Structure 1
Amino acid sequence: MTIDPTLNEWLNLLLRWVHVFAGIMWVGTTYYFTWLDARLSEEEKAVANTGTPAQVWMVHSGGFYAVEKRKVPDLISRHLHWFRWEAGTTWLSGMALLVLVYYLGGGALVDPDVSEISVVAAVGLGLGLLIGGGIVYDLMMMSPLGRNERAFAVIAYLMVVGISYGLSRVFSGRAAYIQVGSMFGTIMAANVWMHILPAQKKMIAAIKEGRKPDDALSAQAKLRSKQNTFMAVPVVFLMISNHFPGVAYGDRYNWAILSILVLLGWVAAKFIRRA
């Protein structure tokens, strides 16, 4: 399928604009709440047994803000704000770009010098990886492995290395990088829409019914959100990697560079979370 070149360029421009800005909002809110939760945890320890609620004071844009965390919010007199469309918009615009740039026509997806795979087979493989990657991730999270963060990280990283190597032998280098980034982004969006938001809705339903929210739901949502912060840093690198063929996807050992930078991204995320 071919698209008029001018229309294609406009679609590419507009989708990238939406994708980048939505991504900024998503990653920004994710890391903001990660920082906020860490500061509130520190305050909770500081005011323990005093009867005083933990608060974090901030100053921004000419105003002062006091934020406190409640296990049971007052749903009757307060309007509850949700943070979900940042993730949805980022993923939808990213998928639209993936289809527009790589899957339609397949010119950027396959490279005859790399493999002789057909465009149809390559598209099927790419979509299969997005779906299969999410399923495998969820199965790992639901298994005993999901309760051991270090073991989970090691096995997940080895899988990323294997996927990176495999894709670099089938797709063009540029497409291999973007496909790994799309897999991360799909897992992150699924975490928000299929796990974090449903858990929050169940907690709210319990409060409305006068029941204590299940702590397991809160822990599950927090863990998924935490893992999103670790995936976000490599995803940003993979989003911009197509601008650096010489030192990234165009290198002979592009899969190794990708793997190393994913690991560095995870390490960076660990330090950013502590900031």
Structure 2
Amino acid sequence: MLATIFLDWAEFAVRWLHVVTAIAWIGSSFYFIALDLGLLPSTDRREGVSGEAWQVHGGGFYFIQKYMVSPSRMPDTLTWFIWESYSTWLSGAALLILVYYVGAEMYLVDLAKADLSIWAAIAISAASLTIGWLVYDRLCKSGLAERPTLLMILLFVLLMAMGYGYNQIFTGRAVLLHLGAFTATIMTANVFFTIIPNQRIVVADLKAKREPDPKYGKIAKLRSTHNNYLTLPVIFLMLSNHYPLAFASTYNWLIAGLVFLMGVSIRHFFNTHHAHKGYPWWTWLVTALLFLAAVWLSTLGTQGFTYEEAEARALSPRETRLAAAEGFEEVTDIVLGRCSMCHTREPGWPGIAVPPKGVVLETPADIAHEAHRIYIHAGLTDAMPPANVSYMEPAERAAIRAWIEAAG
């Protein structure tokens, strides 16, 4: 059981790191987009200065100038914004491995959709994350960079196609998480393969006393703008496992599509405002309508096994071991009595429309499948039931621990 505890704490540590690095990346990205859009015509007539801004923060005043291509000489100190993006992606990849690969049987593979082996599902997951960047990068280099609206529409179509594909084989929570990871991979690849290399070319030209080509800055800015519009949807997708109405819906991939459109409308409002072009309040009406459409889609059915299918389906080797372990029948009675009023396919607890976190504990097969969560949340800790509303006794929690220990 030490391995279970270690993995849970390792997941916590990596998740914390992921959140911290994501805040740093998103913060710097949002700041520089707002700064770039808000620059005013320069009062400094020196060649190459295209805009400037006075800002105040933390009791200090700052004067910022932007060069259209580059300054006339290389400064002694140049701050690069690199590792925020790389660290976010690397920590996210580590979290994907810890949660969805190590726990593939619970979180990745959905036998109600496709009879995949764990290794086949992991291979599909890993391979799919590269597809988005390859297709998107090819689109950007095909001449569509001169037609940015069409390029964004094609990117949206690509995201929807991947979401639909994910939904044919993975669990609901894995569908939205992978769509977020797919998008985040495009964003980080933009930084790693395009934005930073182009900036390094400009720096090298300056050091060599050559005139930098403005096309490199233009290309980098396009990719940075795309990242800006993709950020808000990625945040939702990374947090989506908290919302079963989103991930466990039959149309979760369409809900994700609406979230992408909401991200665009919200960013359009702020980008327009930062560019001193007023307040396009209509974007909030559009966002509200898209949100209501997502709510409606979430009511059109959920995914997963029906009660009859759950009773009839064959158990996996891990579930078979857990179901055969001493104490399983007692734990089944405990869980059905203390947890299943909420964690059922049709919850009976007032105010709960779908099983919390998508966790169903209605049949012995369900309970064997969710053994890890039951052990962590109701055996080792008293996190569940919340506020112990169903009065789970200490002896019952001890029985859960004894069952998992007996299973080995």
Q: TM-score, normalised by structure 2?
A: 0.63
- Give the Cα–Cα distance (whole angstroms) in 2 for the partners of residues 271 and 118 of structure 1: 45
> What's the counterpart of residue 169 of structure 1?
168
Mapped pair 1:8 → 2:7: yes
> What's the counterpart of residue 155 of structure 2?
156
Mapped pair 1:258 → 2:256: yes
Please say if residues 145 and 151 of structure 1, whose CA atoms lie closer than 8 Å, have aligned partners that are also in contact: yes
- Give the Cα–Cα distance (whole angstroms) in 1 for the partners of residues 195 and 74 of structure 2: 22
In structure 2, what residue type is equivalent to 1:73?
P
- Give the Cα–Cα distance (whole angstroms) in 1 for the partners of residues 213 and 243 of structure 2: 47
> Structure 1 residues 56 and 143 mapped into 2: Cα distance closer, same or farther (>3 Å)?
same
- Give the Cα–Cα distance (whole angstroms) in 1 for the partners of residues 164 and 70 of structure 2: 47
Please say if residues 70 and 202 of structure 2, whose CA atoms lie closer than 8 Å, have aligned partners that are also in contact: no
- Give the Cα–Cα distance (whole angstroms) in 1 for the partners of residues 70 and 2 of structure 2: 52
In structure 2, what residue type is equivalent to 1:155?
L
- Give the Cα–Cα distance (whole angstroms) in 1 for the partners of residues 79 and 45 of structure 2: 30
- Give the Cα–Cα distance (whole angstroms) in 2 for the partners of residues 13 and 186 of structure 1: 22
Please say if residues 12 and 100 of structure 1, whose CA atoms lie closer than 8 Å, have aligned partners that are also in contact: yes
Please say if residues 109 and 116 of structure 2, whose CA atoms lie closer than 8 Å, have aligned partners that are also in contact: yes
Please say if residues 103 and 123 of structure 1, whose CA atoms lie closer than 8 Å, have aligned partners that are also in contact: yes
Unaligned runs of 5+ in 1: none
Secondary structure of the structure 2 residue equivalent to 1:248: helix
Q: Which has the larger radius of gyration?
A: 2
Secondary structure of the structure 2 residue equivalent to 1:67: strand
Mapped pair 1:65 → 2:62: yes
Which residues in structure 2 correspond to 1:24-63 (within 5 Å)?
Answer: 24-40=23-39, 42-44=40-42, 47=43, 54-63=51-60
Please say if residues 19 and 93 of structure 1, whose CA atoms lie closer than 8 Å, have aligned partners that are also in contact: yes
Unaligned runs of 5+ in 2: 274-408
- Give the Cα–Cα distance (whole angstroms) in 1 for the partners of residues 45 and 60 of structure 2: 30
The sequence identity of aligned pairs, in percent, is 36
In structure 1, what residue type is equivalent to 2:54?
W
- Give the Cα–Cα distance (whole angstroms) in 1 for the partners of residues 161 and 70 of structure 2: 44
> What's the counterpart of residue 110 of structure 1?
109
- Give the Cα–Cα distance (whole angstroms) in 2 for the partners of residues 15 and 135 of structure 1: 27
Give the root-mean-square deviation of aligned CA atoms.
2.0
In structure 1, what residue type is equivalent to 2:77?
H
> Structure 1 residues 52 and 88 mapped into 2: Cα distance closer, same or farther (>3 Å)?
closer
Secondary structure of the structure 2 residue equivalent to 1:68: strand
- Give the Cα–Cα distance (whole angstroms) in 1 for the partners of residues 22 and 85 of structure 2: 7
- Give the Cα–Cα distance (whole angstroms) in 2 for the partners of residues 3 and 118 of structure 1: 26
> What's the counterpart of residue 272 of structure 2?
274
Please say if residues 86 and 188 of structure 2, whose CA atoms lie closer than 8 Å, have aligned partners that are also in contact: yes
How many positions carry a matched residue from both structures? 270
Q: How far off its partner does 1:150 sit?
A: 1.4
- Give the Cα–Cα distance (whole angstroms) in 1 for the partners of residues 113 and 242 of structure 2: 20
- Give the Cα–Cα distance (whole angstroms) in 2 for the partners of residues 76 and 190 of structure 1: 27
1:107-135 Cα distance to aligned partner (Å, 9 max, x none): 20011222212221111111111111111
- Give the Cα–Cα distance (whole angstroms) in 2 for the partners of residues 237 and 169 of structure 1: 21
Q: How far off its partner does 1:52 sit?
A: 11
Please say if residues 105 and 119 of structure 1, whose CA atoms lie closer than 8 Å, have aligned partners that are also in contact: no
Please say if residues 19 and 94 of structure 1, whose CA atoms lie closer than 8 Å, have aligned partners that are also in contact: yes
1:53-72 Cα distance to aligned partner (Å, 9 max, x none): 54211111111111111343
Which residues in structure 2 correspond to 1:138-153 (within 5 Å)?
Answer: 138-153=137-152
- Give the Cα–Cα distance (whole angstroms) in 2 for the partners of residues 142 and 50 of structure 1: 34
Q: How far off its partner does 1:77 sit?
A: 4.8
- Give the Cα–Cα distance (whole angstroms) in 1 for the partners of residues 165 and 2 of structure 2: 30
Which residues in structure 2 correspond to 1:197-208 (within 5 Å)?
Answer: 197-208=196-207
